Amino acid sequence: MRRFLRQPGGRLASIFAALLFAMSAVMGSYLYSACQKASADYTSLISDIVLAQQATPQLRAALEESSRLPDSEHIQYIDYFISLSKQHLNNIQRSIERHRYLIADVKYLNTHFSELHSRLSDLRQEVQEAQQRPELRDPLQSMAMEIGGAQSWLYNQLLEKVRAISVQQRLVMQRLSIAVSALLVLMVSAATTLCLAVIYLRRQRNTMHQLMLTDELTGLYNRRHLVNVTSATLIQAQRDQAPLSLMLLDIDHFKKINDTYGHPIGDEVLRQISKQLRLLCRPSDTLARIGGEEFCLLMPNTATYDALQVADRLRREIEVNTLTDGVRHASPTISIGVTTCQSGSLTFEQLYSFADKALYQAKAMGRNRVESLLPPNAPSPYNAPLTYTLTIIGEPSDS
Report DSSP state, residue 9: H
- 3-state class of 304 per DSSP? helix
Contacts of 176 (CB under 8 A, 6+ apart): 31, 34, 35, 38
Catalytic choice (115, 293, 319, 349) = 293
Q: Where are the alpha helices (DSSP H) in the chain?
A: 2-6, 8-38, 43-68, 72-97, 100-103, 110-130, 137-213, 223-240, 254-261, 263-280, 304-320, 348-364
Nearest to 372 by CA among 397, 346, 394, 391: 391
CA distances from 82 to 76, 90, 134, 258 (A): 10, 13, 20, 116
> Dihedral, CA atoms, 5, 11, 13, 18, nearest 10 degrees?
100
- 3-state class of 211 per DSSP? helix
Contact call for residues 177 and 185 (beta carbons, < 8 A): no
126 classed as catalytic: no
Nearest to 24 by CA among 195, 185, 175: 185
Task: Compute the distance between CA of residue 141 and CA of residue 151 in angstroms, rounded to an integer.
Answer: 15
Report DSSP state, residue 388: E
Contacts of 373 (CB under 8 A, 6+ apart): 337, 338, 339, 354, 355, 357, 358, 361, 386, 387, 388
Task: Compute the distance between CA of residue 12 and CA of residue 196 in angstroms, rounded to an integer.
Answer: 12
DSSP 242-292: -EEEEEEEEETTHHHHHHHH-HHHHHHHHHHHHHHHHHHS-TT-EEEE-SS
**Residue 21 burial by Cβ neighbours in a 10 Å radius (0-12, 13-18, 19+):** middle
The number of residues in the chain equals: 399
Active-site residue list: 293
